[in-house]
Amino acid sequence: MLNVTGDLPGDSWGIFTFLCAALCNLPALPALNCSEELGAGQSIQQTYDLTRYLEHQLRTLAGTYLNYLGPPFNEPDFNPPRLARAERVPSATVDLDLWRGLTDNARLAANYRAYSRLLCYLRVLDGQVGTAELRHRLAHFCASLQGLVLSIGGVMSSLGYPLPAGPAGPPAGPPGAPPAPNDFLKKMDDFWLLKELQTWLWRSAKDFNRLKKKVPPAVVTLRLEARGF
Amino acid sequence: MRIWGRPKDSGLVESISLLALHLLEGDFAHSFAVPGWIGLALPCVKMANPVPSACCMVLAAVVVVYAQRHSQPDSHTQFERVGADVTMKCGSMDWDAAVTWTVNGTDIDESHLNGSYLILKNVDLSQSGQYSCYEGSAWHLKYQTTLKVGTPPREPVLMCRSNNYPKGFYCSWHLPTPTYIPNTFNISVIHGTKEMVCEKDAVPKNRCHIRYLQLFSTVKYKVTLTVTNALGKNYTTVTFDEFAIVKPDPPESVVAKPVPNNPRRLEVSWQNPSSWPDPESFPLKFFLRYRPLILDQWQHVELSDGTSHTITDAYAGKEYIIQVAAKDNDIGTWSDWSVAVHATPWTEEPKHLTTEAQITETTSASTSSFMAPPTTKICDKGAVVGSGAVAVCWTAGLVVAAYSVLFI
């Protein structure tokens, strides 16, 4: 505490000094804290980039996997009807106006829930698949997908939204679904799983584009105020 | 023509019979219709009693219609394939009747006739026209037909594209070769189990558009186009994912301007295509290509956002050609290239025109066509660039003079 003679009362001067010291030390704060304050804007961008990366990875993975399943699954024109049992895989399909009108929370929550469940299914797939190469690719993809789920969770937290409840840990099996009665139907399930995953990644790119435009500036000022500076 | 004159002193039935006989003989033009009906109906109207009058009217109508049907030359249209053999019969005339055939008013030589049948072998497109058959020397028109020679349709070409994602998409089609006869097109769009309606556009005619009801669909769209004409039908199908057909229109209002005091820069700006409905949520990225007119090699720049770019490595004083293309940030394919714009970077205005002109006249000019970026080089006697270069020249000149003195 400085002893200063002058007109300023001691307390005010002390506060003033404290503020100066704090402001001087601000640049020295660890980078992690700074990026948190830069906020959701940057993590949305990172999540967006992650979806693009995963989409690219999926292309190779899907090609390999569909070849492993064999025809007709690996034919480009294969366009089977959607069976009722396939409905348990979360669908990205949504009414246009509904999608436009989603709140940020709803939009993020939909993504979070979808990828969490898709991750479960993929992990089950990983346990059953034949070749070592496929297992390796699947494992790598699952790890990246896990990263995406965490990233989305991070964005939600930084924006102050609660994480949706759901299967977080490694599951025993796909929630509440009967196993496929025969080999062909099992392969159909796998086909639809990959299709939905691909569609979700395309949708997420659009979801995060929308979020990018709407979120950053307000959040930054809010966070600084909350810190008490 | 005495039909409309009222026959005198004959009963009703007699007058109707007389009329009918005239009609059946068929010696009138096909434009009989109303006057004949009036002529026939007049005697009926003259009757005092209403009930028999009404019956008479009905009878008259039946007679007229029957007569018209059976005495006028039938007007037909027939479609035949190119290369086919066509046999035309002269209506209900017997094979051995004496007839004359004409095509578009010109007589046809008897060598083409087989009795009263007209035989056309291996028809080609030039043989399309109106064929008429006349009986004997009286030239009663017995039969008339319009022959249209064409081909059955070949497999049509169908293309679907979404230039206004996420609103919807359009499909357009055409026939690879003409059929020369009228065709009808029928398009069906199936999405999973649902059949969607593709609304036909007024202009251009061979196009229809569809609105997306749902976005991010995993189920493919299957579009089938069927072409039908009198000689056959054909069809084609395309199947695609919602994302695969996204292709924006090229960017609009591309403008390239020189930058003052910067001889190597060009400022390019453009706008999103007006057909793209929502660039905020569905941003576009751009691809710019540019080259000086005198070179063939393009230079490329990809821009992930913004609708302007400054080229900083233009060759000074050269005219450039610049184009821009657009693509959705994440899905689909690149648009076609925009309209090309031309621009030349800013060049310095020559300041002292008179004095410089004199200097260039006296020295032998050998300026290179490319004004390379300023580097210090041993200058040519003829090149006049600036005060710095002049100093170098002088120095070089002095050195050369010194050497010559030493070695001579």
Mean pLDDT for the stretch of residues B41-57: 66
Least confident of A121-125, A134-138, B123-127, B308-312: A121-125
User: pLDDT at position B359, please?
Assistant: 55
Beta carbons of A93 and B330 less than 8 Å apart: no
Of A209 and A83, the structure prediction assigns the larger pLDDT to A209
pLDDT-above-70 percentage for chain B? 70
A159 reaches B (C-beta below 8 A)? no
Compare CB distances from A206 to B214, B219, B281 and report the shortest one's residue.
Answer: B281
Each as own residue / partner, the long-range contacts of residues B39-43 (CB below 8 Å, 24 or more positions apart, any chain) are: B39/B3, B39/B4, B39/B5, B40/B3, B40/B16, B40/B64, B42/B4, B42/B6, B43/B6, B43/B12, B43/B15, B43/B16
Q: Read off the pLDDT band of B63 (50, 70, 90).
A: low
- Chains A, B: CB contacts within 8 A come to 63
Q: Is the pLDDT of residue B272 over 80?
A: yes
B220 reaches A (C-beta below 8 A)? yes
B331 reaches A (C-beta below 8 A)? yes
Highest-scoring range by mean pLDDT, A159-168, A188-197, B87-96, B161-170: B161-170
Collapsing DSSP to helix, strand or coil, B57 comes out as: helix
* Amino acid residing at B374: P
Q: Read off the pLDDT band of A179 (50, 70, 90).
A: low
Nearest Cα to Cα of residue B7 among B37, B32, B40: B40
User: pLDDT at position B351, please?
Assistant: 72
Q: Which H helix or E strand runs over B22?
A: helix B12-25
Structural class in CATH, domain B252-343: mainly beta
Beta carbons of B281 and A100 less than 8 Å apart: yes
**Minimum distance, in Å, between the CA of residue B240 and any CA atom of chain A:** 8
Q: Is the pLDDT of residue B367 over 60?
A: no
Structure tokens at A109: 């929550």
Q: Is the pLDDT of residue A30 over 80?
A: no
B332 reaches A (C-beta below 8 A)? no
A196 reaches B (C-beta below 8 A)? yes
Q: Start-end ranges of CATH 2.60.40.10 in chain B?
A: 76-150, 157-240, 252-343
Mean pLDDT for the stretch of residues A96-101: 90
Provide the CATH number for the domain formed by B76-150 in this structure: 2.60.40.10
| Residues of A in Cβ contact (< 8 Å) with B189 | none
Q: Is the pLDDT of residue A200 over 80?
A: yes
ipTM summary value? 0.72
Mean pLDDT for the stretch of residues A55-59: 92
Collapsing DSSP to helix, strand or coil, B39 comes out as: helix
Mutation for testing the B interface, residue in A49, A56, A59, A93 having most B CBs under 10 Å: A93
Q: Read off the pLDDT band of A35 (50, 70, 90).
A: very low
Tell me the pLDDT of chain A averaged across its residues. Answer: 76
User: pLDDT at position B121, please?
Assistant: 92
**Minimum distance, in Å, between the CA of residue A110 and any CA atom of chain B:** 14
Q: What is the C-alpha to C-alpha distance for residues A169 and A175, in angstroms, rounded to an integer?
A: 12
SS (H, E, C) chain A: CCCCCCCCCHHHHHHHHHHHHHHHHHHHCCHHHHHHHHCHHHHHHHHHHHHHHHHHHHHHHHHHHHHHHCCCCCCCCCCCCCCHHHHHCCCCCEEHHHHHHCCHHHHHHHHHHHHHHHHHHHHHHHHHCCCHHHHHHHHHHHHHHHHHHHHHHHHHHHCCCCCCCCCCCCCCCCCCCCCCCCHHHHHHHHHHHHHHHHHHHHHHHHHHHHHHHHCHHHHHHHHHHHHCC
To which residue do tokens 């995963």 refer?
Answer: A54
| Residues of B in Cβ contact (< 8 Å) with A202 | 216, 243, 330-331
Nearest Cα to Cα of residue A73 among A213, A186, A222: A186
B127 in Cβ contact with B80 (< 8 Å): no
Of B178 and A173, the structure prediction assigns the larger pLDDT to B178
Nearest Cα to Cα of residue B67 among B26, B31, B39: B26
Beta carbons of B215 and A209 less than 8 Å apart: no
Q: Is the pLDDT of residue A34 over 60?
A: no
B329 reaches A (C-beta below 8 A)? yes
Beta carbons of B216 and A213 less than 8 Å apart: no
Q: Is the pLDDT of residue A228 over 50?
A: no
Q: Report the topology of domain B157-240.
A: Immunoglobulin-like (2.60.40)
Beta carbons of B329 and A213 less than 8 Å apart: no
Beta carbons of A94 and B214 less than 8 Å apart: yes
Q: What is the C-alpha to C-alpha distance for residues A67 and A61, in angstroms, rounded to an integer?
A: 10
Strands B284-292 and B299-303: antiparallel
Q: What is the C-alpha to C-alpha distance for residues B395 and B402, in angstroms, rounded to an integer?
A: 11
Q: Is the pLDDT of residue B65 over 90?
A: no
**Minimum distance, in Å, between the CA of residue A187 and any CA atom of chain B:** 17
**Minimum distance, in Å, between the CA of residue A93 and any CA atom of chain B:** 5
A100 reaches B (C-beta below 8 A)? yes
Conformational region of residue B136, where left means phi above 0, alpha means psi within -120 to 50, and beta covers everything else = left
| Residues of B in Cβ contact (< 8 Å) with A205 | 329-331
Q: Which domains does chain A have, with CATH numbers?
A: 40-170+182-213 (1.20.1250.10)
